[in-house]
Structure 1
Amino acid sequence: MTKRAFIILFSIVTAAALFAFRQFLPMPDRIDDTAFKAGERLNYRLKYGIFTAAEAHLKIEDSDVKFDGRPAYHIIADGNTAGTFDVFYKVRNRYESYIDKSTLLPYLYTENRHEGSWHHTDKVSFDRQDNKVTAGQGVFPLKGGKVFDFPSAYYFARNLDVSKLKVGDTFDMQYFLDDGVQTLSITFAGREKVKTALGTFNCLKFNPSIIPGRIFRKNSKLYLWVTDDNNRIPVKAHVEVVVGSLTMELTNATGLKFPLNGQLKN
């Protein structure tokens, strides 16, 4: 696998895990009882075949900074290459988001990405009153609906009611990334019991769309499994590539608001 291919795959699988639930379900304006609490920390491992290729870490904390006088959460998501991959192509990416504690909508998003010799930073502010997003690439309109950034979509989505989803239901999600609002189609594929490095879990299974090409086979599918409990945590993602496959698994979870529904390994 080429260096660039690895970065693309890492971004796609990570994005799928973070954005899995942003959908056109009833979306509350205020969330009084969230699926998470400050202090939650999640760790993931990304494997190319049998080799560990990267690690990702997510945490949410109470923020010392207030926006418009309102309290906020601070989300931090880190991703880095590991093992042999780290020797040949070092990646150190950090994404941060400040979200309203009641609506879970983002106020401010920043990213700091180091991928080999390439370095990129961005600072994105969300103005709900004037319906615009201001980023390093310019000012972009918000044309309606709820639009999130990379980390905040994940935490908001965990609070949506998915109890009425049927197998085959397809929905779209919107998020701001790089230079505009992006859309990703996702299909609900049912419920499964899934084994992971952390244990076995009852899961909701999703199939985010991907585009075949130099990296993916014509019949390649990306699957994502999320705990079918009150936590709604992505525990596994898998996609086949032209040569081999890429798998991401949850390796550790602490500070959860609810017990996990599965049987954890000792």
Structure 2
Amino acid sequence: MKKNNAFGRIGGKLVVYAYALFLLAPIYFITATSLKGEGEVTKNPLGLPASPMFGNFAEAFTRGNIAKYSLNSVVITGTAVALSLLNAIVVSYCLHRIAHRKIGMLIYALIMSSMLIPGVGFVTLLHLYQDLHLYNNLLGPILMGATASLPFNVFILVGFLRTLPKEINEAAAIDGCNDRQLLFYILLPLVKSAIATLGIFAFVSNWNSLLGPLILLKNKELFTIPLGLLDFRGTYTVEYNYMFAAILITSLPLVLVYLRFQKYFVEALSGSVKG
């Protein structure tokens, strides 16, 4: 029996280590490639760079126009995340307050709508954006990013709000709180971990979004980072060392956002609700 337990523990550790290596392999490959010269990328694609070329990062930043594209990405991502969370909060509160047995069906219909195959409605959406004069300006990707994650955000927030005791609403009503005060001063602080987690997901999704900006933006001055990375792709070759260097540079905001809100992220995953 003890031998079986020992083998089980060893097997479990091996699985964890193998999974960790699987996750770290792309990071190693991107980092190693970003430090190589153009010829070394093809001659030694998987090995360590013979002579690390840290100048690739400065070259990628300049040639890739990272500063301009980063500013566009910050504007689009920041505004889209704010609008998405605000809309999700208001809609979730309304659904939470409606005491009807069929409200659950509406919530599941919302989450099912977010599972549609990406790109199914892009042709219709493109014509709509052109009619509304939202084509080839930053407002188009902002609205697309703000609405894309709305069903999922509503589904999660309603679930968190339903875990709160009903006595909170009753006590607030007795104290004379209106809906705005109840939502923003009492309920939201109790589900801030869920809101922060949804904000992280929305930030990552909008920061890495390629298909939406690719369809809606034609002016290169409005390009976002994912579109800008395509500049390193030539007709017959791809400058992988500069492209991967640019990827590492533009991934820093994602890491910083996660580090800033990781406490709330862990709380949301553990299902805890704290005041």
Q: TM-score range by the shorter chain?
A: under 0.3
Larger Rg: 2
Normalised by the length of structure 2, the TM-score is: 0.23
Greater per-residue strand proportion = 1
Normalised by the length of structure 1, the TM-score is: 0.24
Greater per-residue helix proportion = 2
